[in-house]
C-alpha cells in the first residue's frame, strides 16, 4: 500500500493587504468584487462547476485561499448526509475490510457512503474533486491517496473536512490521520522468528519510499539488535505489496546459496507469493521455511497452512477514521488528530523452529 | 449467496373507479384530493419523510399504487447523478469483484456509487428505503437482496428503476436481472472430473432453497447422466457458501467409508474449506482428492495448489447490471430484461485423474 500525501504549505497566517487585515471575514461578494467577477461566478467555482474560464477560476481559487474563505457548512445537496470514501485502488480482500468498517460507522450515524476509486492514482484528478465540490458531502475519507496543497485548500474553503486512512503516510501534522503501529508490527513478527531460533531471517517490505515499509523494516532491525543477531543486507527486500512482490522476491531469496530459514512478508498477499515460491522449490512450510504475513485478512486463517501474521486492525482503523470525519463535520473537537492503532502478532501454522 | 426476490403481484392493469378510467394520469393533487390530505403530505410520502402518520402514509401509498402514479424523473437531489448499490452482505473477495465492476461502469458514465449493506437481511428495512426515496438516486442495484411487492411499488411510483444482480434468484419476469449460467457451470465442472476418470464425485452446493444452488446440482446430475455414471445421493450436500460450509461437509464426505475421489464445491470459499478438511485428514490434492471451486476469485490462482474453478464473470456481470440501470434511468429501452453471462471452467492444479 502506497500512501503519499504531499506536504501542503501552511496557509498564510495573515489576511492579505486586499482584505485590509480587518476582522471581517471574506464573503462571496467581497471575493467577487476583488476578482472583478460576478457573485454567481464565484458560486460556480465554489460548486465545482466546469463553466468558468480556467484563468478566472485560478484567480478566484487564489483569492479564496488568500482570504482563508470558509463556506458555511452544508448538510449536502438535498439535505442528505453522505460521505465520500476514496480508494487509491480497490484490491480484493484488503479493501473490503476497510469498506466494512466505514459502512458500519457510517450506517450507525445515518450517513451514506459514496465509494470511488482513483484509478490507481495517488492524487485525485480535478474532475473527481469538482464532483465532490458539487455534491458537498459532509466529508471525504482518503485511503492511501493524497491531496496536493491546492486541492487541500479547495476542500478547506468549502468547509469539507477530510481524514486520511493511511497506514503509513507522512501527512502534515494538522491533517487528521488514522493508521497503525507498523514499527511494532515489524518488531513483534521478527522477535517471534528469532525466538524460534531462526538466524537467517529475511524481510520483504513494500516500496522503500513509503513510510510504513520502512517502519516495518526498522522494527525488523530493532528485533535483531536486541537479540544480538547480525543482519545480512542481502536478506532485506523492497517490492510491491501484492502477490507478485512476494513471489518474485521469495524465489530470489530462497535460491540464494545460504537461503533464509524464515521470511517476514510485508502483506498477507506477499506471504501468499512466498508460500507459492516455496512450494515450487519443494520447500515445506513450516518445516523448511517459516513465513509471517502482515494484515491478518480472513483468508489467512483458511489457507492449507494457516498463516502466522501481524494483525493490522483495518476494520477498526476504518471505523475510527469514519467517526473522526463525522465528528469533524458536526463540529466536534477531535481529542487527537493522529491515531495509530496497535498491531498484534497472530501465531498460526506457518512458523516453527528451524530444522537445521 | 442467497438471492430471493419475493414475487410481486402484477400491478392492476386498469385505473380504479376513483380515477374514472380516464386517460388523465394521476397527479399529486388528485392523489391528495382522493386521500383527503394536503398536497405537501403526499409530497412528504413521496420523499420518504418520516413525519406522516403511518395510517395516512399507507392510504397514500395504496392510492399511488392503485393509480399507478409515476413521479417525473429527477436527476437526484442537487443535480448529482448517483446510483445506490445494495449488498445483502459484504463478504471479502467476492463482493469486491462486484464493486469494482460497478465502479468501472458508473465512473465511465459520470455516476457516483453509494454503497450500502443490508446487514445480512435479504429485504431492506423501511428506513433504508426511505433514505433512497429522499435521496432520489438514478437507480438502485440490488445484489442478492430482495424487494417485496410494496417496496417494489414504492420505487416504481417514484420512477426509481432497479436491477437485481442475482446469480440465481427467481424474480418476476419483468424485473431486470443479470446473472450467470449456473447450470452450465455445474455441468462443465462435473464433466471435467468424470472425464479425468473419477466415479465417486461429490457436490457441495449452497442452500437448497436458492435457485443457483439447484441449477449447479442439476448440471452435476446431467453430466453424470450423459456419462452413464450413477449418482450416490450421499454425495450431494447443501450448505452455506462460506468457508465453513466447505469445511464441515468436506470433513463429512471425506470420512465416509467409501469416500469420494473428487469434490465439486459451490464457491471458491467452500473449496478452501474442502482443501483444509483434506489436509487435516492427510489427503493430498490432487493426488488423493480432486477439488473444483466456483467463482474464480483472484486468490484461487495464488493458493499453494492453484484451484481449478468455474469462472463466474462477477466483474462483467456487475458492469452489465450497472449499464442496464443507467440505461433505464436515461429512458433507453433494454434489449433484454434478463441477461445471463456464460461461465467457463478454468483448469489449474487441484484436479487430476484418480489414483485408485
DSSP code string of B23-48: SPPP-HHHHHHHHTS-HHHHHHHHTT
Reported as a single tens digit per residue, the pLDDT across B104-120 is 999 999 899 999 888 77
Percent of chain B with pLDDT over 70: 90
CA A214 to chain centre: 15
E strands within chain B? 82-87, 112-117, 139-143, 162-165, 177-180, 201-205, 236-238, 262-265, 290-295, 308-311, 338-341, 344-346
Mean pLDDT is highest, among A291-295, A303-307, B142-146, B310-314, for A291-295
pLDDT of B18 > 60? The answer is no
* A314 in contact with chain B, both atoms CB, cutoff 8 A: no
Residue of B nearest to A283 (CA): B304
d(CA B323, CA B176): 12
Q: Bridge partners of B141?
A: B85, B163
β-pairing, B201-205 vs B338-341, is unpaired
* Residue A333 pLDDT: 84
Q: Bridge partners of A308?
A: A292
According to DSSP, residue B177 is labeled E
d(CA A110, CA A108): 6
Reported as a single tens digit per residue, the pLDDT across B269-282 is 999 999 999 999 99
Q: DSSP string of B189-247?
A: HHHHHHHTT-SSEEEEES-TTSHHHHHHHHHHHHHHHHHTPPP-GGGEEE--SSHHHHH
Residue of A nearest to B98 (CA): A92
> Average pLDDT of B297-319?
90
Sign of the Cα torsion A118, A119, A125, A131 reads negative
Q: Bridge partners of B27?
A: none
* B243 in contact with chain A, both atoms CB, cutoff 8 A: yes
Mean pLDDT computed over every residue of chain B? 86
When CB atoms are compared, the residue of A82, A95, A273 closest to B114 is A82
Looking at beta carbons, which residues of chain A come within 8 Å of B95?
96
* Residue A75 pLDDT: 54
Query: Using alpha carbons only, what angle is made at residue B34 by residues B31 and B40, rounded to the nearest 5 degrees?
Result: 50
Residue of B nearest to A135 (CA): B80
CA distance A250 to chain B (A): 14
**Third-level CATH fold of A182-313:** Rossmann fold (3.40.50)
The pTM of the full predicted model, rounded to 2 decimals, is: 0.83
Does ipTM top 0.90?
no
Q: Hey, where are the domains in chain A?
A: 26-66, 182-313
Looking at beta carbons, which residues of chain B come within 8 Å of A298?
92
Looking at beta carbons, which residues of chain B come within 8 Å of A287?
none
* A128 in contact with chain B, both atoms CB, cutoff 8 A: no
When CB atoms are compared, the residue of B116, B276, B279 closest to A112 is B116
- Please check whether the two domains, A26-66 and A182-313, share a CATH topology: no
Residue of A nearest to B305 (CA): A276
d(CA A196, CA A352): 6
> Average pLDDT of B236-242?
91
CA distance B51 to chain A (A): 15
Looking at beta carbons, which residues of chain B come within 8 Å of A275?
304
* B108 in contact with chain A, both atoms CB, cutoff 8 A: no
* Residue B23 pLDDT: 56
Reported as a single tens digit per residue, the pLDDT across A309-319 is 999 899 999 99
When CB atoms are compared, the residue of B134, B135, B304 closest to A304 is B304
When CB atoms are compared, the residue of B80, B96, B298 closest to A77 is B80
| A304 to B303: CB separation less than 8 angstroms, yes or no | yes
| B103 to A115: CB separation less than 8 angstroms, yes or no | yes
| A100 to B78: CB separation less than 8 angstroms, yes or no | no
Separation of first and last alpha carbons in chain B: 35
* Residue A331 pLDDT: 87
Name residues whose C-beta falls within 8 Å of residue A42's C-beta, 6 or more positions apart in sequence: A28, A31, A32, A35, A60
When CB atoms are compared, the residue of B113, B135, B304 closest to A80 is B135
| B80 to A303: CB separation less than 8 angstroms, yes or no | no
CA distance B135 to chain A (A): 7
Residues of chain A with pLDDT below 70 are: 1-23, 73-80, 92, 167-170, 356
Looking at beta carbons, which residues of chain A come within 8 Å of B299?
92-93, 272, 299
* Residue A172 pLDDT: 75
pLDDT of B44 > 50? The answer is yes
Half-sphere exposure for B88 (CA within 13 Å, toward CB) = 18
Output the CATH code of domain B26-66. 1.10.260.40
Q: What does the block give as the cell for A47?
A: 460548486
Reported as a single tens digit per residue, the pLDDT across B69-108 is 888 765 544 456 899 999 988 876 888 999 999 999 999 9
pLDDT of B346 > 80? The answer is yes
| B79 to A114: CB separation less than 8 angstroms, yes or no | no
Count of A-B CB contacts under 8 Å? 123
CA B197 to chain centre: 34
* B305 in contact with chain A, both atoms CB, cutoff 8 A: yes
Residue of B nearest to A271 (CA): B302
CA distance B170 to chain A (A): 28
Q: How confident is the model at residue B209 (pLDDT cuts 50, 70, 90)?
A: confident
CATH 3.30.1330.60 holds for B77-181+315-341: no
Amino acid at each position: 500500500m502506497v500512501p503519499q500525501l504531499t506536504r501542503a504549505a501552511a496557509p498564510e497566517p495573515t489576511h492579505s493587504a486586499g482584505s485590509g487585515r480587518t476582522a471581517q471575514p471574506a464573503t462571496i461578494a467581497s471575493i467577487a468584487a476583488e476578482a472583478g467577477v460576478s457573485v454567481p461566478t464565484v458560486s460556480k467555482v465554489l460548486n465545482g462547476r466546469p463553466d468558468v474560464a480556467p484563468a478566472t477560476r485560478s484567480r478566484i481559487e487564489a483569492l479564496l485561499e488568500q482570504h482563508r474563505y470558509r463556506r458555511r457548512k452544508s448538510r449536502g445537496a438535498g439535505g442528505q448526509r453522505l460521505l465520500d470514501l476514496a480508494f487509491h485502488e480497490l484490491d480484493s480482500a484488503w479493501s473490503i475490510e476497510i469498506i466494512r468498517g466505514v459502512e458500519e460507522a457510517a450506517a450507525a450515524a445515518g450517513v451514506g457512503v459514496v465509494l470511488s476509486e482513483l484509478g490507481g492514482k495517488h492524487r485525485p484528478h480535478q474532475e473527481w474533486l469538482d464532483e465532490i465540490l458539487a455534491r458537498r458531502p459532509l466529508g471525504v475519507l482518503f485511503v492511501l491517496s493524497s491531496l496536493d496543497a491546492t486541492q487541500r485548500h479547495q476542500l478547506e474553503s468549502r468547509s469539507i473536512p477530510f481524514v486520511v486512512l493511511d497506514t503509513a503516510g507522512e501527512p502534515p501534522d494538522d491533517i487528521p490521520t488514522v493508521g497503525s503501529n507498523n514499527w511494532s508490527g515489524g518488531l513483534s513478527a521478527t522477535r517471534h522468528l528469532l525466538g524460534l531460533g531462526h538466524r537467517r531471517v529475511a524481510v520483504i517490505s513494500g516500496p522503500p519510499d513509503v513510510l510504513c515499509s520502512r517502519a516495518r523494516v526498522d522494527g525488523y532491525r530493532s528485533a535483531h539488535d536486541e537479540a544480538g543477531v547480525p543482519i545480512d543486507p542481502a536478506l532485506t527486500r523492497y517490492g510491491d505489496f501484492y502477490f507478485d512482490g512476494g513471489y518474485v522476491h521469495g524465489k530470489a531469496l530462497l535460491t540464494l546459496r545460504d537461503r533464509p530459514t524464515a521470511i517476514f512478508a510485508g502483506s498477507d498477499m506477499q506471504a501468499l507469493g512466498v508460500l507459492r515460491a516455496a512450494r515450487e522449490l519443494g520447500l515445506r512450510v513450516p518445516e523448511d521455511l517459516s513465513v509471517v504475513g502482515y494484515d491478518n485478512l480472513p483468508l489467512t486463517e483458511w489457507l492449507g497452512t494457516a498463516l502466522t501474521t501481524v494483525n493490522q486492525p483495518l476494520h477498526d482503523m476504518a471505523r475510527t477514521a469514519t467517526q473522526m470525519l463525522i465528528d469533524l463535520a458536526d463540529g466536534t473537537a477531535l481529542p487527537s488528530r493522529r491515531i495509530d492503532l496497535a498491531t498484534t502478532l497472530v501465531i498460526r501454522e506457518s512458523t516453527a523452529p528451524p530444522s537445521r
